Amino acid sequence: MPPHLVILGQGYSASTVALLAQSRGWRVTGTRRQPEQGSPLLSFDKVGPELQNATHVLISAPPEESGDPALNLYASVLEDAPNLQWIGYYSTTGVYGDRNGASVNEATPVAPGQTRSQARVKAEQGWQDLARRTGRACDIMRLGGIYGPGRSAFDTLRAGKARLIDASDHLFSRIHRDDIAGATLAAIDTAHACRILNFVDDTPSPQAAVFEEAARISGYPLPPRLSLETAWEGLSPMARSFWSERRVVESHATKLSLRRDWTYPSYREGLAAIFKGEDL
């Protein structure tokens, strides 16, 4: 029987993981909270039988106020799953908190400042505890800002929703959707014990630099440049939470552990590939 990957919360990035796994001949079962009519995805709360036969489980669903929904629903099922080898959890680099621009890596202790990041840390710990007490491999994959086809600076510029904020000392870490997927399969291939993996490219960069590169490639006009202080009042609470923290996230140990370099080591290569692929 081929390996069976169950994805709890198959969204933007995890859908590409599903395609890669299927290209290997794997069986893949994906879930969403409310699958659309005719969708091959299953309802999130009705996947227990598939989990009992899973060899690999990827959790992409975010935590809630009541805790991690997948852990709450399926911990006992996964503890008893006879063929389960690997548990993967998509977390966020937000768990490192504000470091005033200093660097963090896979060995840096977490220091979450945001409520949602604190919930992520609890979920990470829950999945690691389950894996360790049952002897399964477990990878906590901390993702930077996700971008890719249909979700990039091109789309924001084209929609006229871009804010060009001049804050050169505020570096954001990013990762292309396809690198998330490729690194997830590499994590499965190299799985052992429990690891912390940072899925961020090699070029943390100011937000403005990404929009400027997208405009250079596409010809889309740039909005007026604003200071962070000027832009602050117009930012959503979520956006403010991102801008309120500064850190540089490294992934050297991750690449060594996965024996894989990033296909898109910076936003430049990533944007060029998106533009070419979508013929924008």
Residues 54 and 87 sit within 8 Å (Cβ to Cβ)? no
Q: Could you give phi then psi for residue 142, rounded to 5 degrees?
A: -90, 115
Q: Is residue 97 part of a domain?
A: yes
In a domain, 69, yes or no: no
Residue 202 in any domain: the answer is: yes
| Residue 39: inside a domain | no
* Number of structural domains in the chain: 1
5 in a structural domain: no
Is 19 within a domain? no
With a cut of 90, say whether residue 32 has pLDDT above it: yes
Average pLDDT over residues 209-232: 96
- Among 41, 1, 59, smallest CA distance to 25 is for 1
Q: 115-134 and 69-80 helices cross at what angle (nearest 10)?
A: 0
Query: DSSP character for 232?
Result: G
Q: What is the distance between the alpha carbons of residues 35 and 5, in angstroms, rounded to a whole number?
A: 18
Q: 280 pLDDT band (50/70/90 cuts)?
A: very low
Residue 14 lies in a domain: no
For residue 57, pLDDT beyond 70: yes
Q: pLDDT digits over 226-264, tens only?
A: 999 999 999 999 999 999 999 999 999 999 999 999 999
Per-residue pLDDT at 37 exceeds 90:
no
User: Sorting pLDDT into bands at 50, 70 and 90, what band is 279?
Assistant: low
Crossing angle of helices 207-218 and 267-278, in 10° steps, is 30
Give the C-alpha separation, 128 to 149, whole Å: 32
For the entire predicted model, the pTM comes to 0.96
Is 71 within the bounds of a domain?
no
Helix axes 177-189, 12-23, angle to 10 degrees: 50
Position 149 pLDDT exceeds 70: yes
What is residue 214's predicted lDDT score, i.e. its pLDDT? Answer: 98
Give the domain CATH number at 234.
Answer: 3.40.50.720
Mean pLDDT over 112-126 rounds to 97
Sign of torsion, CA 123 17 191 267?
negative
Find the domain containing 104 and state its range: 85-278
Start-end of H helices in the chain: 12-23, 48-52, 69-80, 115-134, 153-158, 177-189, 207-218, 228-231, 237-243, 252-258, 267-278
Cα 80 from chain centre:
28
